[in-house]
Structure 1
Amino acid sequence: MNSFLVLGGTGKTGSRVARRLKAAGLPVRTTSRSGGDVRFDLDDAASWAPALDGVTAVYLVEPRLSASTDHAARIPRLVTEAVACGVRRLVLLSAPRAGEEGHPLHAAEQAVRGCGVDWTILRPQWFAQNFSEGPWRPGILAGTLALPTGDGRTPFIDAEDIAEVAVAALTEDHHSGCVYDLSGPRAISFGEAADLIAHATARTIRHVDVAAADFVERQVAAGAERDVAQLLTGLLVAIANGAGAALFDGVERALGRPPRTFESFVTKTAAAGHWN
């Protein structure tokens, strides 16, 4: 029986991938910076082989994007080690435009493409769960979502869809060699997202556009590395400038169905009490 290793096993997608694999009765090991089933540290290559022992498929996640991280080496070296240990299938959680030179995940994608075993690359747009489990939740709870996104629109994708595509790629043969760009079914503004959440929770929530420089300084003051703050701000400003509104058919190509709507995410999340 195939055995699976899930990096970032407590994260937004990794936890959902692991849960689906376990529900199917498949042997799964998880790793994360805060624990997991096995000791694993991307900065400690000595921890890799024990975690990979007996594993046939790996869900790859780069958990840290910063100037202090050697992105050109960590995932590529792990890919080489994984194949040497007998792994025969790799699924990489990547990002939009990671196929371009200069992107922090470009080297990871190139390593996966050239690994010599089955591979699949996932490039999701902004996670809907950023509103409920990630960096935008505090703003939702406070009633003011302050981001430099203006009236720009983007097709938020439900992490449940990402996980379902990942599990399909890990367990089915016909996804090998595929790059799936993943998005929700329609692009909406952050203001509309705030309105939908406000309606579902019967609370007042508004989106406020803020200057990019102010947003960078606010993140740095909260403890973010400046280069990470600048990277994130640039991505959000790009939305304000009209980039990031394109729709993609990756979910339908992989699963044969349309992606979940943002409205369905909001309804389910509100009912679960995540914004209480």
Structure 2
Amino acid sequence: MTNTDVLVLGGTGRTGRRIVRRLHNRGIQTRVASRQGKNPWSWEDRSTWDTALHGASAAYVCYSPDLAFPGVAELIGEFAEQARKLGVNRLVLLSGRGEKGALVSERAVQDTVAEWTIIRSSWFAQNFSEHFLLGPVLRSRLVLPAGDVLEPFIDLDDLAEVASAALVEQGHAGAVYEVTGPRLLSMLDVADEISAATGRHIEYAPSTAEEFVADVALDGIPHQDARPLAELFESILDGRNASVTDDLERALGRPGTDFTEYARRVAALGIWSPRIKASA
């Protein structure tokens, strides 16, 4: 695709801002849709949809907190239909790996637009540095209902590269990519990796869902947001995703970033350095 105008939903978020940066580097005209900014966007306010979509040729679609939540598939279907009506016939949808509930949202896109790409992602490595698990790392104690399940954590920079390619290049239409990191790790392995990168001892504490909810409440994450996440973790952290794929390499022609490299990069930025409270 050339001379495209690409819409990135959640363009200031964790995946969106990385995609926007890559598209800008390619010289692609990009519009950032977010709750604040030049292109106001809200899933709940359908009046923002037409303005964001008008004139675009492709769009990156993500929904937070998760595609599998009740009512989301219908919302995604409505959006895909509106995109089609306005001539936006290429959609790249971020989905979750191993989430049966997300399949309905995927199908809503597949059944509506001419060109679609589904990116089913494993757990984000950046959950430990940019999201709800940063607080536990800073407290040196990962509290998660994950047992000893293995997961191939993916670096979001890799995921963003796949999404960017799918938005503007040929050869990705109709593809379902299950993107993973190159190695399986348990949460104990993750704690060891972050410990090695930071020089601090990070403990992994297997927990119940309620213990997880109580722990993240220390970071101001309310129960109504944390509880659905805990339930989602319990449902998918059962070993179903304990395998790596070559889909990322198939899409990009290179292997994914190892968790060790990610951890060293983040540690060098000081993100995992405990914050020192100022004296009263």
Match of 1:42 in 2: 43
Unaligned runs of 5+ in 1: none
1:161 aligns with 2:162: no
Which range moved further: 9-18 or 64-73?
64-73
Unaligned runs of 5+ in 2: 274-280
For the Cα contact (< 8 Å) 2:19–2:160, is it kept in 1?
A: yes
For the Cα contact (< 8 Å) 2:143–2:215, is it kept in 1?
A: no
Provide Cα deviations, 1:15-41, integer angstroms capped at 9, x if missing partner: 1001100111111111223x2430111
Instruction: Name the SS of the counterpart of 1:13 in structure 2.
Output: helix
For the Cα contact (< 8 Å) 2:98–2:240, is it kept in 1?
A: no
1:119 aligns with 2:137: no
Equivalent of 2:27, from 13, 21, 25?
25
Superposition pairs for residues 94-133 of structure 1, below 5 Å? Answer: 94-98=95-99, 100=100, 103=101, 105-133=102-130
For the Cα contact (< 8 Å) 2:91–2:109, is it kept in 1?
A: yes
1:83 aligns with 2:80: no
Which range moved further: 200-209 or 176-185?
200-209
Match of 1:229 in 2: 227
TM-score (norm 1): 0.90
Provide Cα deviations, 1:158-186, integer angstroms capped at 9, x if missing partner: 00111000001001110000000010011
Instruction: Name the SS of the counterpart of 1:267 in structure 2.
Output: helix
For the Cα contact (< 8 Å) 1:71–1:107, is it kept in 2?
A: no
Instruction: Name the SS of the counterpart of 2:44 in structure 1.
Output: coil
For the Cα contact (< 8 Å) 2:67–2:105, is it kept in 1?
A: no
Deviation at 1:242, TM superposition (A): 3.1
| 2-structure distance, mates of 1:97, 1:78 | 23
1:7 aligns with 2:9: yes
Deviation at 1:274, TM superposition (A): 1.6
| 1-structure distance, mates of 2:267, 2:256 | 19
TM-score (norm 2): 0.89
| 2-structure distance, mates of 1:219, 1:259 | 29
Match of 1:51 in 2: 52
Instruction: Name the SS of the counterpart of 2:12 in structure 1.
Output: coil
For the Cα contact (< 8 Å) 2:178–2:245, is it kept in 1?
A: yes
Query: What do you get for the CA RMSD once the two structures are aligned?
Result: 2.2
| Distance verdict in 2 for CA 1:218–1:274, change over 3 Å | closer
Instruction: Name the SS of the counterpart of 1:153 in structure 2.
Output: coil
Letter matched to residue 232 of structure 1: A
| 2-structure distance, mates of 1:237, 1:64 | 15
Which range moved further: 76-85 or 242-251?
242-251
Deviation at 1:97, TM superposition (A): 3.1
| 1-structure distance, mates of 2:91, 2:233 | 27
Provide Cα deviations, 1:106-130, integer angstroms capped at 9, x if missing partner: 3321121112311100000000000
Letter matched to residue 115 of structure 2: D
| 2-structure distance, mates of 1:251, 1:267 | 22
Instruction: Name the SS of the counterpart of 2:158 in structure 1.
Output: helix
For the Cα contact (< 8 Å) 2:91–2:113, is it kept in 1?
A: no
